[in-house]
Amino acid sequence: MGIINVTPDSFYDGGKTNTLDTVLSQAEKMLTDGATFLDIGGYSSRPGAVDISVSEEIKRILPAIEAINNKFPEALLSVDTFRSEVAIKAVEAGATLVNDISGGSLDTKMYEAVARLQVPYILMHMKGEPQTMQSLANYNNIIKEVTYYFSEKINNARKAGINDIVADLGFGFAKNIEQNFKLLNNLEHFKILNIPMLVGVSRKSMIYKSLKITPDQALNGTTALHMFALEKGAKILRAHDVKEAMECITLYNNLKK
């Protein structure tokens, strides 16, 4: 899953795809490099990010979704949003997947909307909201608490009528570096949820802070953790660098043959 952020302030690529030409160029490169999905986000969810209105988020993502859909109609587009109104507009414009960092916690209408749209749903673990989440990284037993969270959320999503669900443990969302690594090291535990696992560690602070580098220098570390995540059962890698992630997947598949 290639990441396309149409935001000015995302932690790694903020402002890099701020015109339709740059969005289409990025989409073409990612699709050529082997991306199955393109994840379009108009709301920066980095720690402490500025909150924006629903109308501003829609204004950012709709032109990007429509342009990519027109030029690359075979592409599977995901909308990265926690707001049901944005999700509805995005799917009407051509998105085929909803990626919700809040798992329905920040918009009580999200499950109903996704069920009505009948599109797959990526359900992520987070506490609080992007502006407050880093102050909420406190757990007695993070594996148990995240498991209970998904058990409840998946049950509620299914009751609402959502059929296809993917779980995302939410690396970097209300979690410190040690907690991120503990979750990744125990990824295979979450196979008990019996749904596919998406892993999103690309260029995140668990990598660059551990290595005392910057996000720009974190590709090698990302690749290392991608291979580990595949070994632990990840089915989707959400990545800024599609070519390198696909190389990981190819080599992993060769190892498993």
Neighbours of 37 (CB within 10 A): 22
153, 238, 243, 256: the catalytic one is: 238
Roughly how many angstroms between the first and final C-alpha of the chain, as a whole number?
23
Q: Provide the pairing of β-strand 76-80 with 97-100.
A: parallel
Q: Are 230 and 248 in contact (CB under 8 A)?
A: yes
182 is a catalytic site residue:
no
Q: Are 248 and 225 in contact (CB under 8 A)?
A: no
16, 158, 204, 256: the catalytic one is: 204
User: Left if phi > 0, otherwise alpha if psi is -120 to 50, otherwise beta: which for 196?
Assistant: beta
Q: Which two tokens stand for residue 46?
A: 């980095």
Type of residue found at 9: D
Report the interhelical angle of 84-93 vs 110-117 (nearest 10°). Answer: 20
What is the spatial distance between Cα 38 and Cα 239, in angstroms, rounded to a whole number? 10
238 is a catalytic site residue:
yes
Q: How many CA atoms lie within 13 A of 11 on its CB side?
A: 17
How many angstroms separate the Cα of 83 from the Cα of each of 1, 107, 218, 252?
Answer: 21, 6, 30, 36
Instruction: Residue 1: name the closest of 44, 32, 41, 30 by CA.
Output: 30
Active site positions, annotated: 204, 238
